[in-house]
Amino acid sequence: MTYFTFPDGGLSYDCQSCGQRCCRGRGFAVGGEELVQLLGRVPRLASYLRLGAGGSAYAVDLTDGCWFLASDGNCQIEVDHGRPAKPSTCKLFPFNRVFTVRGTRVIDVNTTLCPVAVANDGVSHQEILDDLAAIGPSPLVDVPAPLPPELPDDWQAIEEAASVDIGGPRWDAWTSLYGAPTPARLDEVLPVVRLLLPSLRFGWIFRRGALPWPVVTRRLPARAAALVLLAASSPLPGPPSLRALTELWYEAAFALDVLERWDEPVKLRSTAFESDVPALLQPALGALLAGAFRGGKTLGQLVLDAAATLPQATRPLVIALCAGQRATLLSDG
Protein backbone atom coordinates (compact mmCIF):
# COMPACT_ATOMS: atom_id res chain seq x y z
CA MET A 1 0.00 0.00 0.00
CA THR A 2 1.25 3.48 -0.89
CA TYR A 3 0.17 6.83 0.52
CA PHE A 4 1.08 9.96 -1.41
CA THR A 5 0.95 13.27 0.45
CA PHE A 6 0.15 15.18 -2.74
CA PRO A 7 -2.38 14.73 -5.56
CA ASP A 8 -1.68 12.68 -8.65
CA GLY A 9 -0.31 15.04 -11.29
CA GLY A 10 -0.88 17.99 -8.98
CA LEU A 11 2.72 19.19 -8.71
CA SER A 12 5.42 20.14 -11.19
CA TYR A 13 8.91 21.62 -11.06
CA ASP A 14 11.35 23.34 -13.40
CA CYS A 15 15.02 22.94 -12.52
CA GLN A 16 16.11 25.79 -14.78
CA SER A 17 13.83 28.36 -13.16
CA CYS A 18 15.18 28.07 -9.60
CA GLY A 19 18.89 28.08 -10.34
CA GLN A 20 19.28 24.41 -9.34
CA ARG A 21 19.12 25.08 -5.61
CA CYS A 22 19.19 21.36 -4.81
CA CYS A 23 22.49 21.03 -6.71
CA ARG A 24 24.34 23.73 -4.80
CA GLY A 25 25.92 22.94 -1.46
CA ARG A 26 23.42 20.25 -0.47
CA GLY A 27 25.38 17.17 -1.46
CA PHE A 28 23.70 13.96 -2.52
CA ALA A 29 23.43 10.44 -1.21
CA VAL A 30 23.94 7.18 -3.09
CA GLY A 31 23.19 3.55 -2.23
CA GLY A 32 25.74 0.74 -2.30
CA GLU A 33 25.16 -0.59 -5.82
CA GLU A 34 24.88 2.79 -7.47
CA LEU A 35 28.01 3.92 -5.64
CA VAL A 36 30.01 1.23 -7.43
CA GLN A 37 28.58 2.30 -10.80
CA LEU A 38 29.11 5.99 -10.11
CA LEU A 39 32.74 5.56 -9.07
CA GLY A 40 33.30 3.46 -12.17
CA ARG A 41 32.28 6.43 -14.27
CA VAL A 42 33.76 9.20 -12.09
CA PRO A 43 36.63 7.85 -9.93
CA ARG A 44 37.58 11.34 -8.71
CA LEU A 45 34.36 11.48 -6.68
CA ALA A 46 35.91 9.10 -4.11
CA SER A 47 37.82 12.03 -2.60
CA TYR A 48 34.54 13.71 -1.57
CA LEU A 49 32.59 10.79 -0.09
CA ARG A 50 31.75 9.90 3.48
CA LEU A 51 30.10 6.65 4.42
CA GLY A 52 26.62 6.51 5.92
CA ALA A 53 24.33 3.94 7.44
CA GLY A 54 23.04 0.87 5.63
CA GLY A 55 25.70 0.86 2.94
CA SER A 56 24.97 4.40 1.74
CA ALA A 57 27.45 7.15 1.03
CA TYR A 58 27.16 10.91 1.00
CA ALA A 59 28.90 13.10 -1.55
CA VAL A 60 29.82 16.59 -0.42
CA ASP A 61 29.50 19.37 -2.95
CA LEU A 62 30.01 23.13 -2.87
CA THR A 63 27.63 26.06 -2.82
CA ASP A 64 28.98 26.99 -6.24
CA GLY A 65 27.54 23.74 -7.53
CA CYS A 66 27.57 19.96 -7.56
CA TRP A 67 30.59 18.34 -9.18
CA PHE A 68 28.29 17.27 -12.02
CA LEU A 69 26.35 20.51 -12.53
CA ALA A 70 27.08 21.70 -16.04
CA SER A 71 27.28 25.36 -16.97
CA ASP A 72 23.88 25.17 -18.68
CA GLY A 73 22.25 23.93 -15.45
CA ASN A 74 21.93 20.31 -16.53
CA CYS A 75 23.29 17.25 -14.75
CA GLN A 76 26.40 16.04 -16.57
CA ILE A 77 25.79 12.47 -15.44
CA GLU A 78 22.39 12.52 -17.10
CA VAL A 79 23.79 14.17 -20.23
CA ASP A 80 26.63 11.65 -20.60
CA HIS A 81 25.01 8.45 -19.36
CA GLY A 82 21.24 8.98 -19.36
CA ARG A 83 18.73 9.61 -16.61
CA PRO A 84 18.88 6.04 -15.18
CA ALA A 85 22.53 6.67 -14.23
CA LYS A 86 21.72 9.62 -11.96
CA PRO A 87 22.02 9.04 -8.20
CA SER A 88 18.65 7.81 -6.94
CA THR A 89 18.14 10.72 -4.56
CA CYS A 90 18.65 13.15 -7.46
CA LYS A 91 16.45 11.15 -9.82
CA LEU A 92 13.56 11.12 -7.34
CA PHE A 93 13.92 14.70 -6.13
CA PRO A 94 11.77 16.51 -5.06
CA PHE A 95 9.75 13.35 -4.39
CA ASN A 96 12.62 11.63 -2.57
CA ARG A 97 11.06 11.62 0.89
CA VAL A 98 10.07 7.95 0.86
CA PHE A 99 9.20 6.38 4.21
CA THR A 100 7.42 3.37 5.63
CA VAL A 101 4.80 3.48 8.36
CA ARG A 102 3.77 0.02 9.54
CA GLY A 103 4.13 -1.51 6.11
CA THR A 104 2.66 1.44 4.20
CA ARG A 105 4.98 3.25 1.83
CA VAL A 106 4.64 7.02 2.21
CA ILE A 107 5.88 9.28 -0.59
CA ASP A 108 6.26 12.91 0.43
CA VAL A 109 7.53 15.97 -1.42
CA ASN A 110 10.37 18.31 -0.48
CA THR A 111 8.79 21.77 -0.64
CA THR A 112 11.49 23.44 1.44
CA LEU A 113 14.31 23.19 -1.04
CA CYS A 114 12.42 22.82 -4.32
CA PRO A 115 10.03 25.55 -5.55
CA VAL A 116 7.58 22.88 -6.68
CA ALA A 117 4.42 24.41 -8.10
CA VAL A 118 0.74 23.55 -8.29
CA ALA A 119 -0.10 21.98 -11.67
CA ASN A 120 -2.96 20.33 -13.52
CA ASP A 121 -0.76 17.92 -15.45
CA GLY A 122 2.35 17.55 -13.33
CA VAL A 123 4.39 14.56 -12.23
CA SER A 124 2.17 11.50 -11.93
CA HIS A 125 2.23 9.04 -9.08
CA GLN A 126 3.00 6.28 -11.58
CA GLU A 127 6.12 8.07 -12.82
CA ILE A 128 7.43 8.15 -9.26
CA LEU A 129 6.56 4.51 -8.67
CA ASP A 130 8.34 3.58 -11.90
CA ASP A 131 11.48 5.41 -10.75
CA LEU A 132 11.33 3.63 -7.40
CA ALA A 133 10.94 0.26 -9.11
CA ALA A 134 13.96 0.99 -11.30
CA ILE A 135 16.05 1.96 -8.27
CA GLY A 136 15.14 -1.21 -6.39
CA PRO A 137 16.11 -1.85 -2.77
CA SER A 138 18.14 1.03 -1.39
CA PRO A 139 19.04 2.40 2.06
CA LEU A 140 17.84 5.79 0.78
CA VAL A 141 14.19 4.87 0.29
CA ASP A 142 11.54 3.21 2.43
CA VAL A 143 13.14 4.66 5.54
CA PRO A 144 11.11 3.83 8.67
CA ALA A 145 9.41 7.02 9.84
CA PRO A 146 9.51 7.92 13.54
CA LEU A 147 6.15 6.81 14.95
CA PRO A 148 4.26 9.00 17.41
CA PRO A 149 2.96 7.33 20.56
CA GLU A 150 -0.59 5.94 20.32
CA LEU A 151 -0.63 5.84 16.51
CA PRO A 152 -3.93 4.17 15.48
CA ASP A 153 -4.15 1.42 12.88
CA ASP A 154 -6.39 3.57 10.67
CA TRP A 155 -4.04 6.57 10.64
CA GLN A 156 -3.94 6.70 6.84
CA ALA A 157 -7.73 6.94 6.47
CA ILE A 158 -7.78 9.72 9.06
CA GLU A 159 -5.04 11.63 7.25
CA GLU A 160 -6.71 11.25 3.87
CA ALA A 161 -9.89 12.78 5.32
CA ALA A 162 -8.16 15.71 7.05
CA SER A 163 -8.83 19.24 5.80
CA VAL A 164 -8.65 22.84 6.95
CA ASP A 165 -11.60 25.01 7.90
CA ILE A 166 -11.78 28.63 8.97
CA GLY A 167 -14.37 30.75 10.71
CA GLY A 168 -15.98 30.64 14.13
CA PRO A 169 -15.22 32.47 17.38
CA ARG A 170 -11.54 31.53 17.44
CA TRP A 171 -11.01 32.81 13.88
CA ASP A 172 -12.83 36.03 14.75
CA ALA A 173 -10.56 36.53 17.76
CA TRP A 174 -7.44 35.91 15.68
CA THR A 175 -8.53 38.42 13.05
CA SER A 176 -9.11 41.02 15.75
CA LEU A 177 -5.33 40.85 16.25
CA TYR A 178 -4.08 40.34 12.70
CA GLY A 179 -6.87 41.93 10.71
CA ALA A 180 -9.42 40.07 8.62
CA PRO A 181 -8.28 38.86 5.17
CA THR A 182 -10.60 39.72 2.32
CA PRO A 183 -12.66 36.92 0.76
CA ALA A 184 -10.63 37.31 -2.42
CA ARG A 185 -7.40 36.85 -0.49
CA LEU A 186 -8.73 33.73 1.22
CA ASP A 187 -9.73 32.37 -2.18
CA GLU A 188 -6.07 32.63 -3.19
CA VAL A 189 -4.65 31.06 -0.04
CA LEU A 190 -7.05 28.31 0.99
CA PRO A 191 -6.70 26.02 -2.06
CA VAL A 192 -2.91 26.03 -1.79
CA VAL A 193 -2.97 25.27 1.94
CA ARG A 194 -5.44 22.44 1.36
CA LEU A 195 -3.20 20.92 -1.31
CA LEU A 196 -0.09 21.10 0.88
CA LEU A 197 -1.76 20.11 4.14
CA PRO A 198 -1.24 16.30 3.88
CA SER A 199 2.51 16.84 3.47
CA LEU A 200 2.67 19.32 6.35
CA ARG A 201 0.64 17.03 8.60
CA PHE A 202 2.79 14.02 7.80
CA GLY A 203 6.01 15.88 8.56
CA TRP A 204 4.55 17.24 11.81
CA ILE A 205 3.10 13.97 13.10
CA PHE A 206 5.89 11.61 12.05
CA ARG A 207 8.89 13.43 13.47
CA ARG A 208 11.29 12.66 16.25
CA GLY A 209 9.97 13.70 19.64
CA ALA A 210 6.42 14.20 18.40
CA LEU A 211 3.61 14.31 20.93
CA PRO A 212 1.17 11.39 21.12
CA TRP A 213 -1.11 11.03 18.11
CA PRO A 214 -4.32 12.07 19.94
CA VAL A 215 -2.71 15.28 21.17
CA VAL A 216 -1.04 16.40 17.97
CA THR A 217 -4.01 15.54 15.72
CA ARG A 218 -6.42 17.32 18.07
CA ARG A 219 -4.40 20.52 17.65
CA LEU A 220 -3.61 20.25 13.95
CA PRO A 221 -6.93 21.69 12.63
CA ALA A 222 -6.35 24.91 14.56
CA ARG A 223 -2.72 24.97 13.47
CA ALA A 224 -3.72 24.63 9.82
CA ALA A 225 -6.31 27.41 10.14
CA ALA A 226 -3.65 29.62 11.76
CA LEU A 227 -1.37 28.95 8.79
CA VAL A 228 -4.12 30.19 6.49
CA LEU A 229 -4.36 33.42 8.49
CA LEU A 230 -0.60 34.06 8.51
CA ALA A 231 -0.35 33.36 4.78
CA ALA A 232 -3.37 35.53 4.00
CA SER A 233 -1.87 38.36 6.09
CA SER A 234 1.25 38.48 3.92
CA PRO A 235 1.68 41.68 1.88
CA LEU A 236 3.03 39.64 -1.04
CA PRO A 237 0.51 39.55 -3.89
CA GLY A 238 -1.00 36.43 -5.40
CA PRO A 239 -1.30 32.88 -4.08
CA PRO A 240 1.52 31.82 -1.73
CA SER A 241 4.03 29.34 -3.07
CA LEU A 242 4.25 25.89 -1.56
CA ARG A 243 7.73 26.72 -0.36
CA ALA A 244 6.52 29.91 1.33
CA LEU A 245 3.78 28.00 3.15
CA THR A 246 6.26 25.34 4.25
CA GLU A 247 8.63 28.00 5.57
CA LEU A 248 5.78 29.64 7.49
CA TRP A 249 4.77 26.27 8.95
CA TYR A 250 8.22 25.72 10.42
CA GLU A 251 9.77 29.16 10.82
CA ALA A 252 6.62 30.72 12.33
CA ALA A 253 6.03 27.67 14.54
CA PHE A 254 6.27 29.93 17.60
CA ALA A 255 3.09 31.73 16.50
CA LEU A 256 1.29 28.58 15.38
CA ASP A 257 2.12 26.99 18.75
CA VAL A 258 0.21 29.77 20.51
CA LEU A 259 -2.69 29.98 18.09
CA GLU A 260 -3.34 26.22 18.06
CA ARG A 261 -3.72 26.24 21.85
CA TRP A 262 -5.94 29.32 21.91
CA ASP A 263 -8.82 27.63 23.74
CA GLU A 264 -6.75 25.81 26.36
CA PRO A 265 -6.96 26.93 30.01
CA VAL A 266 -3.90 28.60 31.43
CA LYS A 267 -2.36 28.26 34.84
CA LEU A 268 0.86 29.89 36.00
CA ARG A 269 3.26 26.94 36.12
CA SER A 270 6.42 28.68 37.23
CA THR A 271 7.43 31.85 39.00
CA ALA A 272 10.37 32.10 36.61
CA PHE A 273 9.63 34.00 33.41
CA GLU A 274 11.46 35.84 30.66
CA SER A 275 11.38 39.54 31.57
CA ASP A 276 13.93 40.76 29.05
CA VAL A 277 11.43 42.16 26.56
CA PRO A 278 11.27 45.57 24.85
CA ALA A 279 9.80 48.39 26.93
CA LEU A 280 6.88 48.57 24.51
CA LEU A 281 5.81 45.08 25.58
CA GLN A 282 6.27 45.42 29.35
CA PRO A 283 2.60 46.35 29.99
CA ALA A 284 1.46 43.39 27.88
CA LEU A 285 3.81 41.05 29.75
CA GLY A 286 2.44 42.28 33.08
CA ALA A 287 -1.15 41.72 31.93
CA LEU A 288 -0.30 38.27 30.60
CA LEU A 289 1.37 37.07 33.80
CA ALA A 290 -1.19 38.68 36.10
CA GLY A 291 -4.00 36.96 34.24
CA ALA A 292 -2.21 33.62 34.41
CA PHE A 293 -1.64 34.07 38.16
CA ARG A 294 -5.34 34.71 38.76
CA GLY A 295 -6.31 31.75 36.60
CA GLY A 296 -9.68 30.89 35.14
CA LYS A 297 -8.97 32.06 31.58
CA THR A 298 -7.94 30.45 28.34
CA LEU A 299 -4.74 31.30 26.56
CA GLY A 300 -6.70 33.24 23.94
CA GLN A 301 -8.44 35.36 26.55
CA LEU A 302 -5.09 36.23 28.14
CA VAL A 303 -3.62 37.13 24.75
CA LEU A 304 -6.50 39.49 23.99
CA ASP A 305 -6.25 41.08 27.45
CA ALA A 306 -2.53 41.63 26.98
CA ALA A 307 -3.01 42.92 23.44
CA ALA A 308 -5.44 45.57 24.71
CA THR A 309 -2.49 47.29 26.42
CA LEU A 310 -0.83 47.94 23.04
CA PRO A 311 -1.58 50.12 20.04
CA GLN A 312 -3.59 48.25 17.41
CA ALA A 313 -0.74 47.99 14.91
CA THR A 314 1.58 46.27 17.38
CA ARG A 315 -0.91 43.84 18.92
CA PRO A 316 0.26 40.80 16.92
CA LEU A 317 3.51 41.07 18.89
CA VAL A 318 1.65 39.61 21.86
CA ILE A 319 1.70 36.23 20.08
CA ALA A 320 5.50 36.28 20.04
CA LEU A 321 5.52 37.50 23.64
CA CYS A 322 3.27 34.64 24.68
CA ALA A 323 5.40 32.14 22.78
CA GLY A 324 8.40 33.22 24.83
CA GLN A 325 6.48 32.55 28.04
CA ARG A 326 4.99 29.22 26.93
CA ALA A 327 6.79 27.13 29.53
CA THR A 328 5.42 29.43 32.22
CA LEU A 329 1.85 29.28 30.97
CA LEU A 330 1.22 25.87 29.40
CA SER A 331 2.06 22.24 29.93
CA ASP A 332 3.81 20.30 27.15
CA GLY A 333 1.01 17.76 26.80
Higher-confidence residue: 236 or 164? 164
Confidence tier at 272 by pLDDT (50, 70, 90):
low
Per-residue pLDDT of 12-46, as tens digits, reads: 998 777 888 888 877 888 887 788 888 888 888 88
Task: Give the phi and the psi of residue 12 in degrees, each rounded to 5.
Answer: -140, 165
Choose among 141, 31, 62, 61: nearest CA to 39.
31
Q: What percent of the chain has pLDDT over 70?
A: 98
Confidence tier at 259 by pLDDT (50, 70, 90):
very high
Q: CA dist 213 to 38, 110, 144, 219, Å?
A: 42, 23, 17, 10
Q: CA dist 74 to 64, 80, 87, 128, 232, Å?
A: 14, 11, 14, 20, 36
Q: Where are the domains of the chain?
A: 2-144, 155-259
Q: Would you give the distance in Å from CA 13 to the centre of its chain?
A: 18
Q: What mean pLDDT, rounded, does the chain reach? A: 91
CA distance 258 to 99: 30
What radius of gyration, in Å, describes the C-alpha atoms of the chain? 23
CA distance 119 to 12: 6
CA distance 84 to 210: 37
Choose among 254, 299, 170: nearest CA to 291.
299
CA distance 15 to 3: 26
First to last CA, the chain: 32
Per-residue pLDDT of 125-181, as tens digits, reads: 999 999 999 888 888 889 999 999 999 999 999 999 999 999 999 999 999 999 999
Per-residue pLDDT of 36-86, as tens digits, reads: 888 888 888 888 888 887 778 888 877 888 888 888 888 888 898 888 888
Residue 211: Cβ within 10 Å count: 18
